[in-house]
Amino acid sequence: MKVGFEIHIQVNSARKLFCNCNPKNEDISHLEFRRRLRVSSSELGEIDPAAAFEIKKGLDIIYVSGDKTSCLVEADEEPPHEPDPYSVEAAIKVSNMLNAFVVDEIHFMRKIVVDGSNTSGFQRTAIVGLNGNFDFRGKNVRIQTVCLEEDAARLQEKGEGHSKYELKRLGIPLLEITTEPLEISSEEARALAESLGRTLKLTGLFARGLGTIRQDVNVSLEGGGIVEVKGVQKLEQVSKVIDFEEKRHKMLFEIAAKLKERGVNEDSFEIDPIDVSEIFKSYANPTVKKFFKDSAMALKAPGFKGLLSYETVPDSRIGLDLADICRLFGFKGIIHSDEILKYGFGNDILNQIEDRLKVTDNDAYVLVFGDKEKAALCLQMVKERLKMAIKGPVAETRYATDKGTTRYLRPRPGASRMYPETDIPTIKITKEMKDKFKIEVKSWEKAVEDFSFRYSINKEMAEQILDSDFIDFFENAAESFPNVPPTLIASLIVQVFIPYQNVGKNIEYDEFIKLIELFSKGSIAKEAVIDLARYMLEKGLSLDNALKEMNIEKLSVDDLRKIIQEKISEVLQENIEPTKLYGTLMGRVMSVVRGKIEGKIVDEEVRKALESLKKD
């Protein structure tokens, strides 16, 4: 199996690639506008199946523009500004670092993307470096390209008939580093992504934190198409996704063999969707009422009987891909003949559909309910997808789920969807720039060592923090609260943040900074920091609410002294040996104040109290 990566990493610039917005600003107000993207029909299909697919879906696109994080450029209402010099410099530095050939002129291209994630209908991207290499476990991994490109808008909502995108992320400069596909195991692939990611992070040129680095993984088996899996954000997903794809590819080869056996070939697909609304109109059973509104379209799936629901790993069946295609068209899903019995339409209906479609022994069929024209278009796409199954795994774009499986996204775009961006003049890269824009990166081991030394934390923790999305949090907290031991902040990240992030929890930095502040004032104990953090994330609570619910009162030193005095009088009445006095007293006091105040303070106060007792 061959695996390649496209690593996308956000450049840590104070502006966007083609305008002067800073995405880190806070928006005061938001404005929405509504758009539709078009590609002329003669260019559809011929030029780019991915673009054709998006346009055919015919969805409205709503954009949300924040006043401080996006401007007329992101709204596609103003031509792009000069490319961000800092990002150009970063791209040259990284190209140099990866021993790539730096081009002499940067030509920005338009990569047509019409799902709405770019207001213009294209993403601007340019090659800066070519043919580099990266040393990984003694292997020389070839870096095909280093590209400088703009990030896309973030999908906020997918409704029926519309998609809503937020413009804050649109235009943030990204470097895209593409590795040449390698024969490699899933575990090695994960390690490679990790190693390359670490090297990039150490340049200091990139933003840190959640979503600032993501990888697309390309997977192919001999004789099959290349499947691109988008949006793999966590390294743990990488090996899972690759393993899943390997099994899915093998399954698709099996299915292709079975189809061949059944005599299915390209000619078998000279069929069209058929309107079967009439059949449903004469029935009114509850199932029909539930699904059938205005029309129903059906398509024969020649030779696919039993193959639409066939799967070797959960969620790998073709039926699911077909349902995903229909969902992309705004339908709730599809019903196919491998599963239709469980819905309870009644045999009468099923027989009539089979008659209309001329379904024979080995055939399956697919049903879509909803707008007739759209359903017909959608079933044409379904037909294309089915036709591809003759060949086994085909080139397509999928996305990674949290489970580590992948789902259908769109057909794989071809090279033809690239056009010159005429709004941006070419940028010359002089020899002086090539010589000057260089960067030295220390080894990961050295970086971990330095980090662990600097904050007096152990290396294991140092590495986990450097690898995490929380390095900014760590540095910020450690610098702001010098009296808080960095190991505590490190434990908070390693023991709480990382595991909770892995199960999909969102970590609100501000709340946890407050937590550390509370500790730095001595108002809560060390143990309470971790417990509270866990409780907050477990229950989704703010710090204040967690404090209330956990019954943690913040104890003042004065209160502590009162408690110590109480306990001293108790203990004194019990005639305890002087050598055991401290231990007993400490135990009694802690049983009352545990978690409410730092243990070290209790210790100090208890000793002080015993000292003054002796004097008396």
Q: Site residues (CB under 8 A) for another protein?
A: 33-42, 51, 55, 72, 75-79, 101, 103-107, 109-112, 114, 119-122, 125-127, 130-131, 145, 147, 415-420, 422, 425-426, 428
The answer to whether 100 touches 143, Cβ cutoff 8 Å, is yes
Query: Smallest distance, Å, CB 17 to Zn ion?
Result: 10
Contact residues for Zn ion, defined by CB under 5 A: 19, 21, 71, 73-74
Query: Could you say which of Zn ion, another protein, none residue 121 binds, taking C-beta under 5 to 8 angstroms by partner kind?
Result: another protein
Q: To 10 degrees, what angle do helices 459-467 and 186-202 make? A: 90
Phi, psi (degrees; rounded to nearest 5) at 505? -80, 145
- Neighbour tally for 591: CB within 10 Å: 9
Q: Which is nearer to another protein, 103 or 229 (CB)?
A: 103
Q: How far apart are CA 71 and CA 530, in angstroms?
A: 42
Query: Smallest distance, Å, CB 328 to another protein?
Result: 17
Q: Which is nearer to another protein, 42 or 569 (CB)?
A: 42
The answer to whether 80 touches 423, Cβ cutoff 8 Å, is yes
Scan for tokens 């880190």, then name that residue. Answer: 24
Structure tokens at 604: 């100090």
Q: Which is nearer to Zn ion, 70 or 144 (CB)?
A: 70
Query: Smallest distance, Å, CB 98 to another protein?
Result: 14
Query: Smallest distance, Å, CB 263 to another protein?
Result: 37
Query: Could you say which of another protein, Zn ion, none residue 120 binds, taking C-beta under 5 to 8 angstroms by partner kind?
Result: another protein
Q: Which is nearer to another protein, 116 or 595 (CB)?
A: 116
Q: State the burial class of residue 32 (Cβ atoms within 10 Å of its Cβ: 0-12, 13-18, 19+).
A: exposed
Query: Smallest distance, Å, CB 272 to another protein?
Result: 20
Q: Which is nearer to another protein, 110 or 300 (CB)?
A: 110
The answer to whether 73 touches 396, Cβ cutoff 8 Å, is no
Query: Smallest distance, Å, CB 78 to Zn ion?
Result: 8
Query: Smallest distance, Å, CB 149 to another protein?
Result: 11
Q: How far apart are CA 456 and CA 307, in angstroms?
A: 59
Q: Quote the strand ranges of 51-138, DSSP E.
A: 60-66, 101-102, 105-106, 109-112, 122-136
Query: Could you say which of another protein, Zn ion, none residue 187 binds, taking C-beta under 5 to 8 angstroms by partner kind?
Result: none
Query: Could you say which of Zn ion, another protein, none residue 28 binds, taking C-beta under 5 to 8 angstroms by partner kind?
Result: none
Scan for tokens 């104070």, then name that residue. Answer: 14
The answer to whether 491 touches 530, Cβ cutoff 8 Å, is yes
Query: Could you say which of Zn ion, another protein, none residue 21 binds, taking C-beta under 5 to 8 angstroms by partner kind?
Result: Zn ion
Beta strands 122-136 and 139-150: pairing type?
A: antiparallel
Q: Which is nearer to Zn ion, 67 or 246 (CB)?
A: 67
Query: Could you say which of another protein, Zn ion, none residue 582 binds, taking C-beta under 5 to 8 angstroms by partner kind?
Result: none
Query: Could you say which of another protein, Zn ion, none residue 104 binds, taking C-beta under 5 to 8 angstroms by partner kind?
Result: another protein
Q: Which is nearer to Zn ion, 21 or 564 (CB)?
A: 21
Query: Smallest distance, Å, CB 540 to another protein?
Result: 37
Q: Which is nearer to another protein, 76 or 531 (CB)?
A: 76
For 336-339, the CB contacts below 8 A with 24+ separation are 336/301, 336/308, 336/309, 336/364, 336/365, 336/366, 336/367, 337/301, 337/305, 337/308, 337/364, 337/365, 337/366, 338/305, 338/306, 338/307, 338/308, 338/309, 338/364, 339/308, 339/309
Query: Could you say which of another protein, Zn ion, none residue 39 binds, taking C-beta under 5 to 8 angstroms by partner kind?
Result: another protein
